[in-house]
Amino acid sequence: MSDRRRSDAAAAFAFLAPDGIGLLLFIIIPTALALVVGLFSVDGFGNVEWAGLDNFRLMAGDGLLWRSFGITALYAVLFVPLAFFAALGLALLVKDHFPGVGAVRAALFLPNAVSLVVIGLLWQFLLTDKTGALAKLTGLDGVSWLGDPSLALVTLVLISVWFLMGYQMLIFLGGLQDIPREYYDAATVDGGGPWQRFRHVTWPMLRPTSFFVLVTSTINAVTGMQVFDLVFVTTSGGPANATTTVVYYAYQQAFQFGRFGYAGAICALLVVALGAVTSAMFALTRGGRFDA
């Protein structure tokens, strides 16, 4: 290896090292520990006993666990496409330069710069039954947005979309700005209108960006990295367990009921489920190319 290539490799490792260390310390090691803890009976008081596969056998008859998986799947099915198309639509609206476009982009991204705990408290204030500011303003103070089992999960989905669409919009903007202008000019010369230019130029060129957005959104939805804070602050898994996702259910088992081993087993199952979903997405899209 030449000195130039060694220098480039060293620079690349230097840039990747902070993220790599963070990934190791906060993702890989905790995940491995959760998998190991799932093989033990741990009650949080220092009592540790070998349990083998007992925790995994308990999951088979846990109806609340499988219901939480269903709620998580429903949340993902609703959230991922809504956030995707909302972000893409916003990116298309603000991709061109016009007076104040920077302020508009910043305003759309602003919710993502605030802690989800703060976001949850804000929306709880706005949507509180009968006394919520937004409920009174819209005349819908008789609707229990967070207290009705049929509405609570949908409400959290809409809040999550509002929170994340600005971030995903910026990702789409990056993809849109990488599309050569000559492609649009050629399409216009050939008589292509706005829809034809989007269908035959914008959408195909955005496929790698779209794949990244879909994968990260799915991971966020399935693992509950995003929705956990909202559930914890606004509904605590209620009403009637209507918003108890898998991650929140594992949290309850560990920190409310002291069943750390069982919570670890649930997290292990969630890792397997997430790996299967991600692998399926890669297989269906052939690694992000969306080839036919």
Quote the CA–CA distance of 98 and 95 in Å, as a whole number: 9
Buried b or exposed e, range 147-174, using 16+ CB within 10 angstroms: beeebbbbbbbebbbbbbbbbbbbbbbe
Looking at residue 213, its amino acid is V
Confidence of residue 170 (pLDDT cuts 50, 70, 90): very high
Average pLDDT of the residues in 121-125: 87
pLDDT tens, position by position, 68-108: 999 999 999 999 999 999 999 999 999 887 788 889 898 99
Higher pLDDT, 154 or 125: 154
Residue 1 confidence (pLDDT) above 70: no
> Could you give the domains of the chain?
49-285 (1.10.3720.10)
Predicted TM-score (pTM) of the model is: 0.86
Tokens 């006394």 sit at which residue?
Answer: 131
Confidence at 132, pLDDT banded by 50, 70, 90:
low
Residue 70 makes CB contacts below 8 A (sequence gap 6+) with none
Quick: pLDDT tens for 213-256.
Answer: 998 898 888 876 678 889 999 998 988 899 999 999 999 998 88
Q: Write down the pLDDT at residue 292.
A: 40
Cα–Cα distance measured from residue 171 to residue 188, given in angstroms and rounded to the nearest whole number: 26
41 exposure class (CB count in 10 Å sphere: 0-12, 13-18, 19+): middle
Lowest mean pLDDT among 18-22, 61-65, 280-284: 280-284
For residue 172, how far is the Cα from the chain centroid? 16
What pLDDT, on a 0 to 100 scale, did the predictor assign at position 75?
94
Is the pLDDT assigned to residue 130 strictly greater than 70? no
| Angle, in degrees to the nearest 10, between helices 207-223 and 260-285 | 160
